[in-house]
Amino acid sequence: MSQTQTTKIYSEPPIKINRTLYGVLLATLASVFWGSMGVCVQYIFENTNTQPQALSSLRLLLSGTVLVILNLFLSRRPLLAVLSSLKGTAGIALSGLELLGAHLTFFIAIYYSNAGTAAIFLATTPLLAGIYLFLRGKKRFTAKEGLCCALAFFGVLLIVSKGDFSTFQFNWMAVFWGMISAVFASIYSIQPKPLIDRWGVVPVASWGMMAAGIAGLFLANPIVTAEGLDAKAWLALSYIVLAGTVAAFWLYLACLKYISPVTAGLVVCLEPTSAYVFGIMFMNLKLGWIECVGIAMVISQVFILSIRSKERS
């Protein structure tokens, strides 16, 4: 089942609107959900005693369960087909471990910094994936990618240092775990590709998230985690699962029916921006102009990489 086939479950725009504009709106909403999800994660960390491994495990288990149940009704045959072979099941298990690593380290980065800073590291994922393919000898490293390396490095440097290089008192834990999360995300963007080409992105991603949640049971007891949440934290967790994971996932898939993956990837760059905006609105986050320059530098490298992709396509 190809990616084109998976998007057939989506209907035409509910109102008369330009199809490209509709796709951009869907991708924008997905990125806003992802960005605001990070702020909800930050809220739980700051207002409860929940640890990153506990929250990431509970989030993945609940989200994976919801996605699998939804797809049992919407696309049962391809969902079950991916588990029909040992190779497919093993690939799902591996992707689940990679997904757990990506989400856990992303949550740890939020724990030590904030949602916007953690999300900005993920904007380096396409660049890291390109470097990995270069090291494997599967692609050339271009001058544009070299420029992107410089933009990403100095952009992150400005964000974490706030422009003060006199003492180099960075939040090293946030930097370390943010980069590790980007590495895991880049690996996850490459490893499941053969599975996705054969069975489609929906079954692979749904089972992968479920596998990640099951693996997360070895890190934290979800019952103990749930008992430590108050009513507001449960509301935030519900948003994380339903809007920040399930709805964002489906919106992103839906947008691919109307716009190209390159265009969708550019729009999704709004995720760290929306995370910073929601952080300013609800978490009393303050940004200086130096940090804004750093954010612009990191996001710009994604645009430069996409121009290269367009030229090759």
The pLDDT tens digits for 166-212 are 655 567 898 899 999 999 988 887 888 888 888 888 899 999 999 99
**Residue 94, both tokens:** 């591996």
Domain count, the chain: 1
The stretch 259-279 carries a mean pLDDT of 80
Helical ranges in 217-247 per DSSP H: 222-227, 231-241
Q: Which domain holds residue 37?
A: 3-312
Report the predicted TM-score, pTM, of the whole model to 2 decimal places.
Answer: 0.84
51, 44 Cβ separation under 8 angstroms:
no
Q: Residue 47's pLDDT is what? A: 95
Q: Residue 243's pLDDT is what? A: 95
Indicate the pLDDT class of residue 239, thresholds 50, 70 and 90: very high
- Lowest mean pLDDT segment, chosen from 62-66, 133-137, 232-236, 253-257: 133-137
Using CA atoms, how far residue 182 sits from 9, 97, 129, 134, 214, in Å, is 31, 15, 9, 17, 22
23, 258 Cβ separation under 8 angstroms:
yes
Separation between Cα atoms, residue 38 and residue 156, nearest integer Å: 18
The stretch 101-108 carries a mean pLDDT of 96
pLDDT per residue over 36-69, tens digit each? 999 999 999 999 999 999 999 999 999 999 999 9
Say whether pLDDT at 17 is over 80.
Answer: no
Q: Residue 52's pLDDT is what? A: 96
- Lowest mean pLDDT segment, chosen from 225-229, 247-251, 264-268, 288-292: 264-268
Which amino acid is present at 140?
Answer: R
Say whether pLDDT at 299 is over 90.
Answer: no
